Amino acid sequence: MGEWKSKNHSKYLLQYHLIFVCKYRKRLLSSNSISSDIKSLSESICKKHNVIIRYMETDKDHIHYMIETEPNINLSDFVRTIKSYTTYHIWKKYRNYLSKCFWKEHTFWTDGYLYVP
């Protein structure tokens, strides 16, 4: 559990449980190399945006994040950033494998995300 943080006139503890699902529920995260790369890419983008990852775990076709943010972070913008960043770098590294799974488009995640309060 995180600790309450304070700014000038506010006190906050913003934690989000996010779930991203692979497109078409393909079991792409069952590969340890892709899963570990997604985790390391996620950690680097979170450091860049001052987001703390409290918990991150992958299953065969989805990933769970428990993140902690500041009030000035727009959650939907952050989700878009992390999904596009990880997709770009995963396609760059695993192009041959992913092109067999997705014939026409360079995608990895579904369009939406699940936020569990």
Structural domains in the chain (count)? 1
List pLDDT tens digits, range 16-67: 999 999 999 999 998 889 999 999 999 999 999 999 999 999 999 999 999 9
pLDDT value at residue 7: 82
SS3 at position 114 = strand
pLDDT band at 1 (very low <50, low <70, confident <90, very high): low
List pLDDT tens digits, range 55-104: 999 999 999 999 999 999 999 999 999 999 999 999 999 999 999 988 88
pTM for this structure? 0.88
pLDDT value at residue 10: 86
Range of the structural domain that residue 55 is part of = 5-116
Would you say 94 and 34 are in contact if contact means Cβ atoms under 8 Å apart?
Answer: yes
CATH number at residue 41: 3.30.70.1290
**H/E run at residue 115:** strand 114-116
| Structure tokens that stand for 102 in this block | 């997705």
